[in-house]
Structure 1
Amino acid sequence: MQGLFADFPAYNAKPDIELGKQEPSIEVAVDIIRTYLEVARKNEAGIVADIDTEFLHDYRVSLRRVRSVLSLFKGVFSPDQTSALKREFSDLMASTGRVRDLDVYLLEKDFYFKLIPPNLHPGAEAMFAQFKKERNRELAVLSRRLRSAAYGRQMKQLLALFADTKRLETGPNAERKAYDYARSLIWKRYRKVCKLARGITPKTPDEAVHELRIDCKKLRYLMEFFAPLFDKSDFKTLIKPLKKMQDNLGLFNDYSVQQEALLNFVSTQSDARNRTSAPLAMAAGGLIAVLDQRQKAERDHVITNFQHFDSPEIQNLFRALFRQKED
C-alpha cells in the first residue's frame, strides 16, 4: 500500500486491543471506541480521493463497532449519554449509506449480468449507468462533508471525549470487571441467538430471519471485543460455525435489500407519463426473480448451518466458557 499510495499511511482495520480480566468495563469500552474512531479517521482521505471502495467500507465498519459498544455494553455509560452518543454515531453513518449501497451494486455488476440472459443485458447496462452517475453525485456530497470544518471539529471532540474516562457519565456496570462482564454479555446473547434460530423454518417471516442476522452480528462483535480475555483456540472453534451462519444470513439480507432497491429504482426511473424504459424494467424484473430464488435458498442454508452451530460440542464449549452459576 505504501508503494502505491505513499501519502496514505498503512493501518490495521482490526487492531489488537489489550485487555485485562480485572479491567473496569468502562475502560474496555473506552479503549475499543477510541481505537475504532482512530481507524475511521484514517480512512477519510482515501474516501475523499476515491482510491478504493474499501476505505468507505472500513470507515463504516469502524463506526458500526463503536455503535455496537454503546448498544451492547449495557449499564456502562449513563442512559442519557448512551442515547446521545448512539444518535450522534447514527447520524455519522447515515451520510455514507447510499454511497456504500451503490458501491456494492457496481462491484457486483458482473455477478448480476451472469444471473440474467444476454437479451436483458442492454437494460442492465442502462441501469448500471444510472447507478454510476448517482454514485458519483453521492460521493461528491459525502466528500464535501468529510472535508468540512464542522465534521473535523465533531470528530476531534469525540476523540477527546474518549481519550480517557474522566468526561464520561458512568452507569451501574462501569466498574464491573471485564472478564465477568464479558461472560455475562456473551452468554445472554448466545442464548438469544439459539432461541431465535431454533424457530426458523421455510415459512418464517423474513423479519424474523433479519432479527437473527442482527443478533448473530451482535454476538460476533461481543466475542471479538472480548477475545483477548479467552483462549484463542476455544474462540476459533466457536467463531467458525457462527461466521458460516452469518455468511448465509448476510446473503439472505443482501438479496432482500437488493430486490427492494431494484423495485425502488424502477419506480424512480418513470418518466412524466409514468412509463419506464422497457429494457431497463425487464432487466430489473429478471434480477428480482433470480434474487428471490437465491434468498429462499439462503434461508435453507441458515437452517442447515445452525445445526452445526447448535451441535453438542459448541453448546458445551459455550457453557464452559460463559455460563455463570446463577444461569
Structure 2
Amino acid sequence: MNKKLAHKLKQKKKTDSLTTLDSFMTEAVHNTLTAQTKYFMLDGSAEGVHDLRIALRKLRAYLSFAALLYSVESQEYWKNILQSWSVRTAEIRELDVLQDEWSKAGSLLNIDSLQDPLNGYLLKHRNNLLALFSESLQTGKLTEDLQAFLFWILNEKTQVKEDSWQSYTDWRLKKWLKNLRQQLKNIDIMDNEAIHRLRIKCKKNRYILEWYSRTRKDQKAARIATVLKQLQDYLGDIHDLEPEVELLNKLGGNAQESELLKEIALLSGWQAKRAYDAFQAFSAQGKDSYCTLVLEK
C-alpha cells in the first residue's frame, strides 16, 4: 500500500453501518444468494439467469474494489472461484439475447417461420446448457462457495479499520474513475478486445457508483453511473457481434436445413445492424464527451 493511501486511511471519519467493509461485502453476498433463490423460483428463465449473472458480477466488482485491503493470494483465489460460476452462464445468456433479438427481427421482418426452425434450435441448445448449470446449482455448491467466501470476509485480517473505510472508498473510487477516463480516452473503437476491457471497467465502476450514491446520498455519483450504463450498452452491442455470430455459425455448422441456414444468416445480419447503430451512437456522442461526463470524485 502506497504512502498516499496510508495517509488517507489515517484520516478518521465517522461511518454508519452501511459503509463498513464487512457490511459492504456481506450485502453483495446476500444479494447473490437471493438471486440464486430467484433463479430457482423462475425455473431458470432468461430473467433468472440474467439476475444471477449480475449478482455474481457485482460481487466480483465489490471484491475488486476492496482488493487492496486483503492479501493478494486470498482475494485472487476467491476471484477465480466467483469467475468460474459466471463463466458457466455465459453461453446461456448469449442464447437468451439471440432468442430475444430473433423475436424482434421476426416481428419487424414478417418472418413466417419464426418458431421453426431457428427459435426451436436456439431453445433446444439453451435447455441442454441450462440443465447442466441447474444441476450444478442443485448440488448446493454455489451456496457452499458463497458461505465460505462470507466466512473468509468476516474473519480475514484486513488493512482497514471501520472508521477509515470511508476514506478508503473515496480514494479508491477517485482512482478507478481516473483510470477509466484514461482508458476511454485511448480506446481504439476497432479493437474488439479493447472494447471488451473498457466495457468491463464501465460495469465495475457503475456498480460501485450505484452503491456509493445510495449510501452517501451522492447525486453526482448517480449521474455518472447513468452515463456509464449508456456507454456500456453501446460497447456491448459493438463487442458482442463477433462472439454472437461465432456462436450462430457453430450452431449452424452441421445444419442441412436450408430454412435454418437462411434464418441464421438473417439473425447475423440483424445483429450486425445493432452493432453498427451502437457504433454510430457512440461516435455521435464522442469519447471526449464521455471523458468530460465521467468526472473524478
Runs of 4+ in structure 1 deviating by more than 6 angstroms, as ranges, are 21-24
Q: Which whole-Å CA distance do the structure 1 matches of 2:246 and 2:161 have between them? A: 42
1:296 to 1:196, Cα distance in 2 relative to 1, 3 A: farther
- The within-5 A match list for 1:146-295 is 146-148=137-139, 150-151=140-141, 155-156=143-144, 158-159=146-147, 161-162=149-150, 165-168=153-156, 170-172=157-159, 177-200=164-187, 204-267=190-253, 269-270=254-255, 276-295=256-275
Task: Supply the AA of the counterpart residue of 1:252.
Answer: I
Deviations 1:141-191 (A, max 9, x none): 22222222x52xx514632652585432x3545768222222222222222
Instruction: Name 1:140's counterpart in structure 2.
Output: 131
User: Larger % of helix: which?
Assistant: 2
Q: Which whole-Å CA distance do the structure 2 matches of 1:155 and 1:28 have between them? A: 19
Q: Which whole-Å CA distance do the structure 1 matches of 2:158 and 2:36 have between them? A: 28
Q: Which whole-Å CA distance do the structure 2 matches of 1:263 and 1:156 have between them? A: 37
Task: Supply the AA of the counterpart residue of 1:214.
Answer: I
Percent of residue pairs identical: 20
Q: Which whole-Å CA distance do the structure 2 matches of 1:291 and 1:279 have between them? A: 18
| Residue 21 of structure 1: how far off its partner (Å) | 6.5
Deviations 1:98-153 (A, max 9, x none): 333222222333213256574xx6488312211111222222222222222x52xx
Match of 2:75 among 63, 72, 82: 82
Check conservation: 1:68, 1:218, Cα contact below 8 A.
yes
| Residue 82 of structure 1: how far off its partner (Å) | 1.0
Q: Which whole-Å CA distance do the structure 2 matches of 1:60 and 1:136 have between them? A: 17
Instruction: Name 2:11's counterpart in structure 1.
Output: none
Match of 2:26 among 24, 31, 37: 31
TM-score by length of 1: 0.73
Check conservation: 2:15, 2:162, Cα contact below 8 A.
no
Instruction: Name 1:309's counterpart in structure 2.
Output: 290
Check conservation: 2:69, 2:160, Cα contact below 8 A.
yes
Partner of 1:75, secondary structure, is helix
1:222 to 1:236, Cα distance in 2 relative to 1, 3 A: closer
1:206 to 1:158, Cα distance in 2 relative to 1, 3 A: closer
Q: Which whole-Å CA distance do the structure 2 matches of 1:253 and 1:176 have between them? A: 41
Q: Which whole-Å CA distance do the structure 1 matches of 2:202 and 2:65 have between them? A: 13
| Residue 209 of structure 1: how far off its partner (Å) | 1.8
Q: Which whole-Å CA distance do the structure 2 matches of 1:173 and 1:26 have between them? A: 8
Partner of 1:96, secondary structure, is helix
Task: Give the CA RMSD over aligned residues.
Answer: 3.1
Partner of 2:15, secondary structure, is coil
Instruction: Name 1:12's counterpart in structure 2.
Output: none
| Residue 219 of structure 1: how far off its partner (Å) | 1.1
Check conservation: 1:37, 1:63, Cα contact below 8 A.
yes
1:165 to 1:71, Cα distance in 2 relative to 1, 3 A: closer
Q: Which whole-Å CA distance do the structure 1 matches of 2:161 and 2:28 have between them? A: 15
Number of paired residues?
283
Q: Which whole-Å CA distance do the structure 2 matches of 1:280 and 1:162 have between them? A: 47
Gaps of 5+ in 2: 1-13
Partner of 1:141, secondary structure, is helix
1:223 to 1:161, Cα distance in 2 relative to 1, 3 A: same
Partner of 2:69, secondary structure, is coil
Q: Which whole-Å CA distance do the structure 2 matches of 1:224 and 1:26 have between them? A: 16
Task: Supply the AA of the counterpart residue of 1:67.
Answer: R
1:164 to 1:136, Cα distance in 2 relative to 1, 3 A: closer
The answer to whether structure 1 residue 67 and structure 2 residue 60 are counterparts is yes
